[in-house]
Structure 1
Amino acid sequence: MTDTLAQQAATHWGAEVVRLLSHRENAVYEIRLPGGARAALRLHRPGYQDFAAIRSELWWCAALAGEGVAVPAALPHQGGDLLAELPGGRAASVIEWVAGIPLGAGGTLLPYPPAQTLRLHHAFGALVAQFHAATDRLTLPADFTRPRWDIAGLVGEAPLWGRFWDHPEATPTQTARLAEARDFLHDRMAAHLAAGAKIAPIHADLLRENIFVDGDRLSLIDFDDSGWGFRLFDLGTALAQNLDEPAYADIRDALMQGYGTADRAMVETFTLMRCCASVGWAMTRLGPGDPVHPRHLARALDCAARVIG
């Protein structure tokens, strides 16, 4: 059914579907545009972002690309719109092709020499700083709407990705520790705001698979989870996948230096925040007994031991 929808969606751009690239949250296909250029077709998952939020994402990425940030711009279809509505109400969009390969997948970094790994993370941090600064220069449309990764959206009564401290497969001891982490994170984020941090548009999902490497050039993809949030949450998200790396401290420091922050305590706080949020993500998307649950719980609790003590 998804392949049929992809074929229908591609016709809006006069394109030909080449192959399925991934089917995680969205279904993403390589397509061939008239004239032969490659592009990526996204079938947005139903029930996650509404049309207004998707349009805001596409506008933002196009504006960032216009500012010289290495992100793929959305491409209008033959009717001139950035978004096509498919049968059943599903949304489709097309973005520019991004050359290169992901920095890694899941728990595995690309096997670069240690010095190159650190150079890449320094460049990664600099790219995140560039896109944050470029966003600050933009005048957002009046109808710009995206989810809020603020205190309420992360540790409030109804977080965007679920109440991680209520995970049904956590032991009583784990549940108590996650509740302690929630309180700790709430207090640290509140203090961060009081100290002058601002809530602004962030990527919110800077995992390895969303960082493309092409020689010395890095690009950011997949703004599907982007929204209003704490800037350092972007760094914490990137670091959450690196906690088990032997060179974790060096990777963290290279990322921070590239970004231009020395606030290690808050970067570590947002690393814990991402680990906890991922527990909620798995709880609301994966079935009981899925092996991801114990892995995410263990990572969050290990990170809590590192950050809270």
Structure 2
Amino acid sequence: MTSEAKAHAMAQTALYSWGQAVAPPRLVKNRENIVFEAHLKDGRHVALRLHRPGYQGRAGIEAELRWCAALSRQGLPVTRPVPATNGALTGSVANRVTSCVEWFAGEPVGAGDLPLGPDVAHVRAEAAELGALIARFHACCDADPPRGFTRHAWDAEGFLGERPLWGRFWEHPLLAPDEAAVLTQARALARERLAQAEDFGPIHADLLRENVLRGPSGLALIDFDDGGPGWRLYDLATALVQGWGDPLWGAQAQGLVAGYRATRPLAPDQVALLPLFVALRSFASAGWIVTRAEASDPRQRLYLERALDLARHLIARTVPWKEDE
């Protein structure tokens, strides 16, 4: 991780490309991408992003920004790019590509935002709202497909190939031999069943709760860094995966699907594949965490337990949430 002092120094330098800020920027996130909140001298309120080296590259980042601009023109609540003073979409500092997008005022959605003791109807309604927004997003992508979309693909190779985008999850160093065998078997079954998925196109690919904000005007989508070509069901699965272990997970799944179907078609045989894609997201996360945290970090084992549980459901052909809520 980059030190806060170095991150602030890079941000101050990067902001020269956008005419500088009226005050020191505020550090929001210091992970692979470093994000600051800043108020530019021209009055614009932005999120400054210092992109991780070696992931998307300048062409991929600029494709993302053009994509978000096109989505915004269709009325979708997404992060709009803020061009630099020279009109470019990106800049540079040290070994990082930099960009600015308009700041969204809002808080991430999630269980913490619900009133005490939420009932099933409330959970289902909130999930339906998000499902409808995801459907609108996919429809907008189809209406105006992104151009020059040089991005990583969330396809069979990206999930399950010899070099998956987020790592060889079935070789996680904390796996016991019998656990590794479960993930290896699930990997093979998942590749077979992916042949049944039909809707492939531009996706966000990281619709976790932290990337869906609730503001004064409703829900909005941020952080398209992982976006690329992929199965649309993966966006629904990613929005759902954090509900693992929640007693109302079934209500979340039902609401998400119902909200999506109210806006965009989703055939029953495709809905039946949703557990597969939730498993795929859990596998990807188990691979991702290996190089992002110490071996003693509790997330290592937590992500593995989730992946193993969903792998066993995949092997048994069972749904991992209650369907009668």
Smaller-chain TM-score range?
Answer: over 0.9
Asked whether the equivalents of residues 164 and 276 of structure 1 are also in contact (C-alpha less than 8 Å), the reply is: yes
Alignment-mate amino acid for residue 146 of structure 2: L
Is 1:181 paired with 2:186? yes
Residue aligning to 1:203: 204
Is 1:49 paired with 2:56? yes
Distance 1:137 1:15 in 2: 36
Distance 1:202 1:282 in 2: 22
Q: Mean alpha-carbon deviation: is it higher for 110-119 or for 289-298?
A: 110-119
Alignment-mate amino acid for residue 156 of structure 1: G
Deviation at 1:158, TM superposition (A): 0.7
Q: Summarize the Cα distance change of 1:57–1:308 in structure 2 as closer, same or farther, 3 Å threshold.
A: same
- Give the match's secondary structure for 2:290: helix
The share of aligned pairs that are identical, in percent, is 43
Deviation at 1:109, TM superposition (A): 4.0
Deviation at 1:284, TM superposition (A): 3.2
Task: Show the 5 A alignment for 1:63-74.
Answer: 63-74=70-81
Alignment-mate amino acid for residue 210 of structure 2: E
Can you give the 5+ residue segments of structure 2 that lack an aligned partner in the other structure?
Answer: 1-5, 317-325
2:103 is aligned, of 80, 84, 97, to 97
Deviation at 1:139, TM superposition (A): 4.2
Residue aligning to 1:239: 240
Distance 1:216 1:37 in 2: 19
- Per-residue Cα deviation, 1:65-86 (whole angstroms, up to 9, x for no partner): 1111110111101000110022
Deviation at 1:240, TM superposition (A): 0.8
Distance 2:103 2:146 in 1: 25
Q: Please provide the CA RMSD for this pair.
A: 1.5
Alignment-mate amino acid for residue 279 of structure 1: A
Is 1:2 paired with 2:3? no
Alignment-mate amino acid for residue 65 of structure 1: S
Q: Mean alpha-carbon deviation: is it higher for 115-124 or for 239-248?
A: 115-124
Residue aligning to 1:252: 253
Alignment-mate amino acid for residue 103 of structure 1: V
Normalising by structure 2, what TM-score?
0.88
Is 1:221 paired with 2:222? yes
Residue aligning to 2:306: 299
- Per-residue Cα deviation, 1:265-308 (whole angstroms, up to 9, x for no partner): 21111001101111111123333333211111101111223333
Residue aligning to 2:129: 123
Asked whether the equivalents of residues 90 and 98 of structure 2 are also in contact (C-alpha less than 8 Å), the reply is: yes
Alignment-mate amino acid for residue 183 of structure 2: L
Asked whether the equivalents of residues 200 and 230 of structure 2 are also in contact (C-alpha less than 8 Å), the reply is: yes
Can you give the 5+ residue segments of structure 1 that lack an aligned partner in the other structure?
Answer: none
Distance 1:247 1:121 in 2: 11
Alignment-mate amino acid for residue 280 of structure 2: M
- Per-residue Cα deviation, 1:228-284 (whole angstroms, up to 9, x for no partner): 111000111111100111111011010011111343321111001101111111123
Residue aligning to 2:320: none
Deviation at 1:216, TM superposition (A): 6.0
Distance 1:307 1:216 in 2: 38
Distance 1:10 1:216 in 2: 29
Residue aligning to 1:111: 114
Residue aligning to 2:89: 82
Residue aligning to 1:160: 165
- Per-residue Cα deviation, 1:160-182 (whole angstroms, up to 9, x for no partner): 01111111110001100000110
Distance 2:89 2:59 in 1: 12
Deviation at 1:25, TM superposition (A): 2.3
Residue aligning to 1:169: 174
Distance 2:17 2:90 in 1: 9
Is 1:132 paired with 2:132? no
2:19 is aligned, of 14, 38, 58, to 14
Distance 1:289 1:170 in 2: 14
Normalising by structure 1, what TM-score?
0.93
- Give the match's secondary structure for 1:308: helix
Distance 2:145 2:225 in 1: 20
Asked whether the equivalents of residues 206 and 235 of structure 2 are also in contact (C-alpha less than 8 Å), the reply is: yes
Distance 1:269 1:176 in 2: 18
- Give the match's secondary structure for 1:39: strand
- Per-residue Cα deviation, 1:192-230 (whole angstroms, up to 9, x for no partner): 2xxxx1431100000000010125600010001111111
Deviation at 1:4, TM superposition (A): 0.5
